[in-house]
Amino acid sequence: MTKITELIFKGIDMVGSEYDYVSILARRALQLQSGQMPFAGSGRRSNLEKAMEEIVSGKVTVMPRKTKEDKA
């Protein structure tokens, strides 16, 4: 298995669903693309790879969405 494949499977396991993982991954990669500094070492990797490593290493956390019950 390649490193990227391992990061994908680890990320899905951490987040709980493929959809949520891709959503978080895309959001973080866009943040990096717009100039936000990476939490992990920069190196010569794509923003997508950096985002994957940050999520799997626990450097990016996700706040749960508020439900209607939480807002009341």
Flag residues of the chain having pLDDT under 50. none
Task: Output the pLDDT for position 62.
Answer: 73
Task: Output the pLDDT for position 45.
Answer: 83
Largest Cα–Cα distance of the chain, in whole Å? 47
Sign of CA dihedral 10, 16, 17, 19: negative
Task: Output the pLDDT for position 33.
Answer: 92
How much is the pTM?
0.77
Could you tell me the fold of the domain covering 3-61? Eukaryotic RPB6 RNA polymerase subunit (3.90.940)
pLDDT digits (tens, 9 = 90+) for 21-32: 999 999 999 999
